[in-house]
Amino acid sequence: MKRGCFISAVVLFTLIVGTVVYFVKYKKDLFKNFSKDKIIGVAVDEFDKKLNDVKASVYRDSMKIAVHNFLDESKKYNFDSAITRLQDVMDEARFLYHDGIVDSADFNHIKQIIKRYERSEKNRN
């Protein structure tokens, strides 16, 4: 390798490493917000795939709407809160539709999980 090519490679490598360090150190929120939207999007798609395998019922459709609304609302929160909300609901939903049908008990359980994260009307101001 020629000396000029080596020096150019070292300078370019240093600039790239410096740029990456700067973005990681000072612009974390940019990456967090981008990844939050992508993670929630993937979770919604995966939830829909699993729920489509469940036998069709009124409760299945209601559960789908409730979880979609909850996850859309979760996008407003910061990264850590949104991921915690997503994880709680997805963990519960995974155990609820393992038997192949969503009944009223399953739907009410998911509603209770979602309600835990809602603020009361009195505390909204």
17 belongs to a structural domain = no
Query: Residue 56 falls within a domain, yes or no?
Result: yes
60 domain-assigned: yes
The stretch 89-109 carries a mean pLDDT of 81
Is 40 within a domain? yes
pLDDT digits (tens, 9 = 90+) for 24-49: 788 777 777 777 888 888 888 888 88
Residue at 54 is within a domain: yes
Instruction: Please report whether residue 21 resides in a domain.
Output: no
What's the total number of domains in the chain? 1
**pLDDT category, 119, cuts 50, 70, 90?**
low
d(CA 14, CA 19): 9
Kindly report each contact of residues 90-98 with a partner whose C-beta sits within 8 Å and lies 24 or more positions away, as own/partner. Answer: 90/43, 90/47, 93/47, 93/50, 93/63, 93/67, 94/50, 96/63, 97/50, 97/51, 97/53, 97/54
Q: Is residue 118 part of a domain?
A: yes
Of the candidates 42, 20, 41, the one whose C-alpha atom is nearest the C-alpha of residue 31 is 20
> pTM for this one?
0.67
